[in-house]
Amino acid sequence: MKKKNNPFLLKGYVSKELFCDRKKEVDQLFANVQNGIDTTLISARRLGKTGLIFRFFDHLREQGDVKSIYVDIFSSRNLSEFIKLLAEAILLGFPEKTPIGKQFFEFIKGFRPLIGYDPLTGQPQIQINYQSDQEKEYTLKGLFSFLENQGELIVVAIDEFQQISDYPEKNIEALLRTYIQNLTNIRFIFCGSRKAMMINLFSNVKRPFFSSTQYLYLEKIDKAEYSLFIRNKFSESGIGITEEALAMVLNWSLMHTFYTQSLCNMLYYIAESEITIDTVKLACLELLKRNEPVFYQYRQLLTTAQWNFLIAIAKEGEVKQLTAQKFISQYEIGTPANARRISRSLLDKELLLELPYKKETFYRVYDVFLSRWLENEY
Ligand SMILES: Nc1ncnc2c1ncn2[C@@H]1O[C@H](COP(=O)(O)OP(=O)(O)O)[C@@H](O)[C@H]1O
Ligand SMILES: [Mg+2]
């Protein structure tokens, strides 16, 4: 059989056919929208938050055309860049030809912006020059009011929301909170991967977003659902996979969505008819080889002690107590204080992942490929 396009996506969202499960989460988001509740969506990087947002938007369209806007603020460094990205996202969500789009175009012209289109992607680009901070705040307020005044429900997802805590403006949280709490037609999804920062933003009593939203912690995809999905996607192309091979795929990639998808994507690429343990081993090695330049880069950025610490964690797989005597002496880490200092810096660099599990906390190497590579190489 001639192979179709690879069904294992490594970025973006295409259709629900290529998206595994997340029914519970979609239902939860939908219920929140209906009940007037904003959601804070949190998980480790690459587990599927952005995918879930687009899957949910798809669901909204099916359920009767609730309008949705997606804005990724990862690249923003201050309030004016936030406003710019928000305005561009609105323009993208409501194209110029639609009635709302026309209105928005007229509205935004009031701020005398430069409007252009990215020559490569065709996406709108807006540049506004502000005379003062008040003018910035006025513009932001204006954007929200514009959406509010459409008189229909609009879902606005702000991805990588933790970015706002790096903005130089001090009042940004309070400002957003003030505008947001008066909106009745807009439901927000605040999405982020820096867990501590997100929780601090939303749960710290001293902070303005306190208790204003409901948390949705995204976990790994359910094992049975993911197994079925993988098996089906292969079999739709006439490729079989043995039980052991499938178990190895899920185990090796730790069911961390991006890494599982990557491994399946590679398997789809190399498989002929049936995938066995040997095919999986081959695919794993190939993936690690392709990612080696990234691993060497990590090594360059770290001190020897930090690098050795990562190797130790990778060898263990998961570590419960980073300062435990046994762990420290086995891997010659030095003192508990050393271990604490090194782990803090690795957590900060997002090379180490903290996994709360019931009453305990586990740590593992954040990047699953790096973890597997360190485990093999050292
Ligand atoms: N439910 C899913 N089924 C299949 N692939 C998924 C699913 N969720 C996410 N992915 C894929 O996993 C990768 C990481 O997902 P992404 O949404 O970008 O994670 P995050 O936003 O949490 O960093 C992407 O390649 C995406 O296409
Ligand atoms: Mg994302």
pLDDT tens by residue, 251-296:
999 999 999 999 999 999 999 899 999 999 999 999 999 999 999 9
Return contacts of 128-136, CB within 8 angstroms, 24+ apart. 128/80, 128/83, 128/84, 128/87, 130/80, 133/169, 136/79, 136/80, 136/83
Question: CATH for 302-378, among 1.10.287.130, 1.10.10.10, 2.60.40.60, 3.40.50.10800?
Answer: 1.10.10.10
Nearest CA to ligand 1 atom 25: 10
Contact 82, 76 (CB under 8 A): yes
pLDDT tens by residue, 65-75:
789 999 999 99
- pLDDT given at position 204: 75
- pLDDT given at position 2: 55
Pocket test for ligand 1, best of 257, 259, 366 (most atoms within 8 A of CB): 257
Name the average pLDDT for the chain.
Answer: 92
Ligand 2 ion: Cβ-proximal residues, 5 Å cutoff: 49-50
Domain boundary assignment for the chain: 22-217, 302-378
pLDDT tens by residue, 218-240:
999 999 999 999 999 999 999 99
Architecture of domain 22-217: 3-Layer(aba) Sandwich (3.40)
